[in-house]
Amino acid sequence: MLSAFYFPLISSLTSHPSTRTVWRLLSDAEHMSAASFVDRQVDCLEEEISSAHWIKLQADFQLLAGLEMEAEKSYRRSQKMMFESKDAILQMSLRNTGWQALFQRRLNVAMDCFRRLFDEPTVSPLRRAEASLGTVCTLFELAHFNEAINLLEEFEAALDFSELEADEPDDWRNLLQTLAVDLMVQRELRSASSFSDHVYWRSGLSAWRGPIASEVAPVAGRLQTAVSSLSPGIFRKRCAFLTGLVSLADGQRNVVQNLLTHSKWASGSGSMLYERATYHEIALASLAGGAPQLAEAALGQLPATFRAAPDTCQIEYLYCMAKIYESTGRSDNSLQCYRRYALSAMHCLRDMSRISKLAYRNRKCKPSGTLDDVAARLPAKYRRAYRYLIHHLGRSDLSVHEIAREIGVTARALQIVFKSRLGATPTEIIRQQRLTRINEELRESDALPERKILDVAQKWGVEKRSTLSVGYRRQFNETPSETIENH
């Protein structure tokens, strides 16, 4: 995913001033040196205010390397070492959970975290900047290209370097320039006529008619300008890779070796997620340029562990393999891959359908609806239980015993901890959260017949009309129909 390239850069640029060395190493494309430097700093830490920031950076590198459990532990440790206000701890929880959710492709959670972080009244300018860029990355993963580009332009226009205490404003300019060009290249690549059946990305391209001459020329021009204007280092490296992708999609196959060299660098940089993204991008460009053999060779470079990931994390890979098999006459294999791709794509699109794409700036904070404002109040193990609960709200058979088994405790212990820390049992929280999700969807919908209201309720695990009516009125002091009429 594109976000894997920008995440460490955004993280280090918005971190504590004491960690500035990490930014310099990353901007020079010395990612392994940066990760090793952070590890050495963590190994010799003392209890001081900057310690939490070093551990947070270590968690970020672990997340990029695919070490999700280690990253989770490091994030918890960093929050425990924060000698700051409750608001600051909450904001760090939102930040950490947002990036984790993004790379786990729980995109609705990621969007909610970054939006709430942006809306926090006491959030610092640096943290708000990170929330904006995190939202841009999430919008891209949601296939909302235009919204991502527009938000990035808004952010750049409103950027105040004095607020960010930026010693080197060019660092920010280089980051934003590269990200903007990258988004345009990704949009152009996925709008190729040969990808008309790529339903996941096409769902976000409806507002853009594709790469006509007036659209492509500015992208090519901006790429050329970026490569020539950027200092040697990580941003020029990425823009050179993007230039190669555009050339390959245009049928110039002599650039493949340079692109694969970049992927090998990504592999050596310690970012498993970025390495995977580069091979997917090379495969897409090869297919767009009519070279399925090159696409298959690129995907063949992926380690077996990548191909064993859940299908929802393999949408790009499954689509490319379906196209490769189709173009090489392996119809049965193509149909099998495309079926898996389509099911995964529709699963993701369904989960994302409730995310509002608009009004990021004007959005009001949602009351106690996400896992992140309670995360700081729960012990680490029980935070996992809450996260599991939220992730499976749509299942009508979700039970307290199942949640307890997930974290290895008894149902009684789970109930006691939730009641003492959150003021409600797991069953009560499940009911409240389901009704909250139903309420959110009804507020965003036009008038619906009663049958459609029940469909929304069943989507969130409420099967019976009587259960919906009684619980909804008790929680919101109105019926579902009245919610629609009043909004």
Give the pLDDT score at 487. Answer: 63
Give the pLDDT score at 150. Answer: 84
What band does 227 get if pLDDT is binned at 50, 70 and 90? low
Give the pLDDT score at 116. Answer: 86
Give the pLDDT score at 262. Answer: 92
Contacts 24+ apart (CB under 8 A), 156-162: 156/180, 159/129, 160/125
Report d(CA 4, CA 102) in Å as an integer. Answer: 10
**Top-confidence residue, 142 or 46:** 142
Phi/psi for 70 (5° steps) reads: -65, -40
| 160: DSSP letter | -
**Top-confidence residue, 327 or 1:** 327
- pLDDT at 96 > cutoff 80: yes
Structure tokens at 219: 């992208």
The amino acid occupying position 407 is I
Mean pLDDT of 184-212: 75
What is the H or E stretch that residue 93 is in? helix 86-103
Choice among 34-38, 266-270, 322-326 with the minimum mean pLDDT? 266-270
Give ∠ CA 271-272-278 in degrees, rounded to 5: 90
Give the pLDDT score at 133. Answer: 93
Check if the beta carbon of residue 325 is closer than 8 Å to that of residue 334. yes
Check if the beta carbon of residue 377 is closer than 8 Å to that of residue 422. yes
Q: Right CATH number for 377-486 from 2.20.25.90, 1.10.10.60, 1.20.1630.10, 3.40.190.10?
A: 1.10.10.60
Integer-rounded Cα Rg, in Å, for the chain is 23
Mean pLDDT of 175-191: 88
Give the pLDDT score at 270. Answer: 80
- pLDDT at 277 > cutoff 60: yes
Give the pLDDT score at 286. Answer: 92
Mean pLDDT of 190-204: 83
End-to-end CA distance of the chain: 37
Mean pLDDT of 405-428: 88
Give the pLDDT score at 452. Answer: 78
What band does 354 get if pLDDT is binned at 50, 70 and 90? low
What band does 476 get if pLDDT is binned at 50, 70 and 90? confident
Give the pLDDT score at 371. Answer: 47
Choice among 109-113, 119-123, 158-162 with the minimum mean pLDDT? 158-162
What band does 449 get if pLDDT is binned at 50, 70 and 90? low
Domain boundaries, the chain: 197-203+213-354, 377-486
Report d(CA 468, CA 458) in Å as an integer. Answer: 9
Instruction: Kindly tell me the sign of the dihedral angle through the C-alpha atoms of 331, 335, 337, 341.
Output: positive
What band does 210 get if pLDDT is binned at 50, 70 and 90? very low
What band does 109 get if pLDDT is binned at 50, 70 and 90? confident
Give the pLDDT score at 368. Answer: 38
Mean pLDDT of 172-187: 89
Give the pLDDT score at 442. Answer: 83
Query: pLDDT tens-digit profile of 281-315?
Result: 999 999 998 999 999 999 888 877 766 666 567 88
Percent pLDDT > 70 in the chain is 83
Query: pLDDT tens-digit profile of 357-416?
Result: 434 433 433 433 444 455 556 777 888 888 888 888 888 888 999 899 888 889 999 999
Give the Å distances, CA to CA, from 107 to 62, 138, 291, 342, 353.
20, 7, 32, 18, 11
Mean pLDDT of the chain: 81
Give the pLDDT score at 444. Answer: 73
Give the pLDDT score at 213. Answer: 36
- Tell me the pTM: 0.69
Structure tokens at 422: 């959150």
Report d(CA 252, CA 246) in Å as an integer. Answer: 9
